[in-house]
Amino acid sequence: MPNKRFEKLAAALENTDFDAIALNPGPTLTYLTGLDFHLMERPVVLVYAPGKVPAIILPQLELQKLSGLPYELKAHPYGENPAEWGQSFRNALFELDLYGRTIGVEPRRMRVLELRLVENGAPGAHVIAAEQELASLRLRKDADEIANMRRAVQIAQDALEATLPQIKVGMSEREIAAELTVQLLRHGSQPEMPFSPIVSGGPNSANPHASPSERKIQPGDLLVIDWGAAYEGYISDLTRTFAVGEVDPEYRKIHESVQQANAAGRAAGKPGVACAEVDKAARNVIEAAGYGEYFTHRTGHGIGMEGHEEPYMRGDNQQLLKTGMAYTVEPGIYLPGRNGVRIEDDMVVTENGCESLSNLPREIRTVG
């Protein structure tokens, strides 16, 4: 049985200078092969050259993962002695006739360890970045992928709803994050989640990527919770902001502005619209409210098998949305040393517009 995704990769490499692609463990390797490897001290590299049987260099202890594959894959195993690695790479790259050829890699994934083994294993080869060609493979999700993402969203939403009644004044951010993590697992998330939950209250909520601390939440805080689940290798990424008891009227105002910006960003997406326009739609709302300088990041990013992937909702990105693309809309306002707000939803482009996979209430809710 042919591997349709390898055929998709072959099509992506047509009319390019690439003779092959070399991938180490990560979402693209899993997407192409259905195989899941950890990035570890023992290198694992898949090498694909159009028209030839793909090769995989891997430790012998991983060979059982290849049993029963419905397509052909040539294994080049090695033992525990690192001195054997180089020969396995040379054998694989020689068989694929890649000496002196051009080999593409993912620059955000390929470590120096694997890079040097590929370079030394194929004398004279040019090893260069192929991020655009590889990003195109996973850019548009099919029905099965969207179904997995929809399930990941539902798991995340159910886990948060189970966590909220447990939140009390005096709990630390870490305690809340721990409870949310447990609930994510209980509701069906894979143990390897897309990221550790961000739980930040009061002044910490003004830091978009704060790590949960021992700070205890207090009346008057805004509480930002940014979390996600993983299901069958696909992820969700959501954010909601809550009030801890009564909060200052200005904080309710900025929450309302972010809520309106989120709605504008969600409404802007449809086939043929530039990513920049989604960013602009959300940003215009916050600027009109007088808080433009406090919206310090892009409006969103692509999601799928990774928490951050193509396409990116930023002001200079003229990439056009197409059916099947999935991304976040997550505007925010961050008042340094005071409080912050972010509201984030997961979107997928449909034939006629854009659908939000997430439907948790976006209005400010009180906890504690």
Could you report the per-residue pLDDT of 127-160, keeping only the tens digit for each?
Answer: 999 999 999 999 999 999 999 999 999 999 999 9
Q: What is the pLDDT of residues 157-188, one digit of tens each?
A: 999 999 999 999 999 999 999 999 999 999 99
Residue 1 has pLDDT above 80, yes or no: no
Asked whether the beta carbons of 300 and 265 are under 8 A apart, the reply is yes
pLDDT in tens, 206-261: 999 999 999 999 999 999 999 999 999 999 999 999 999 999 999 999 999 999 99
The pLDDT of residue 2 is 59
Domains and CATH numbers, the chain: 4-138 (3.40.350.10), 143-367 (3.90.230.10)
Q: Is the pTM of this model over 0.75?
A: yes
How much is the pLDDT for 3?
Answer: 84
Percentage of the chain surpassing pLDDT 70? Answer: 99
pLDDT in tens, 72-112: 999 999 999 999 999 999 999 999 999 999 999 999 999 99
